[in-house]
Amino acid sequence: VVVGFADHRNEAEAAVKEAVNGGAQAMASRADVADEHAVAALFDAAEAEFGGVDVVVHAAGRAHTAPIADLDLAVLDDLYRTNVRGTFVVVQQAARRVRPGGAIVTFSTSVVGLAFPGYGAYAAGKGAVEALTLILARELRGRDVTANAVAPGPTATDLFLAGKDEETIARLAAQPPLERLGTPSDIAEVVAFLASPAGHWINGQVVRANGGII
């Protein structure tokens, strides 16, 4: 397991420790996902350490909410650098390197379908991720490599909770028929299934893991 990180070294090292405690070999490596040279070096390190790449899960992302009329275009550029260019750079390397029988998993958001006001820039970028992933699945024909996107709904992560008051969080938690926020474990189980042999017949799909909110 190779955990890539840009700013969150402590979280990456904690993930490595958890993987090692579970019996896996793991390492952390810093890379800006929008920097093609850094990402290529990350893949090089994975191949050197473990002999090849079988699964790539690209979860890096940024979020910002503002009405379209008010959004600072510098913020838009920052979002797209990570969420769109960063995804493209990572899956480009994945498309070149993942071995037969492997899987590529990207992250979208159920906001693409929900069309929440204030999420225009974020949802547009994630819509690009969905299109990229579905096209990639078809471009990988004959390779025995799957490509799917996971589109979480409201999930209790630091990224989601940041800047929201308790009333807003409670309102969002009540919207799915299951009447709660998702948890990181809920999403991790979906990703693990898509990356496993059991999920290998699922290909070129956007999986909405959102408790039924849409």
- In the chain, the domains with their CATH numbers are 53-209 (3.40.50.720)
State the amino acid at position 31 in one-letter form.
Answer: A
Query: Three-state SS string across the chain, please?
Result: CEEEECCCHHHHHHHHHHHHHCCCCCEEEECCCCCHHHHHHHHHHHHHHHCCEEEEEECCCCCCCCCHHHCCHHHHHHHHHHHHHHHHHHHHHHHHHEEEEEEEEEECCCHHHHCCCCCHHHHHHHHHHHHHHHHHHHHCCCCCCEEEEEEECCECCHHHHCCCCHHHHHHHHCCCCCCCCECHHHHHHHHHHHHCHHHCCCCCCEEEECCCCC
For the annotated catalytic residues, the residue numbers are 122
Count of beta carbons in the 10 Å neighbourhood of residue 25: 11
C-alpha 112/C-alpha 104 separation (Å) is 20
What pLDDT is attached to residue 160? 87
The pTM for the full model equals 0.94
Q: Report the chain (214 residues): mean pLDDT per 10 consecutive residues.
A: 92 94 94 98 96 97 95 98 98 99 98 96 98 99 99 92 92 96 97 98 99 96
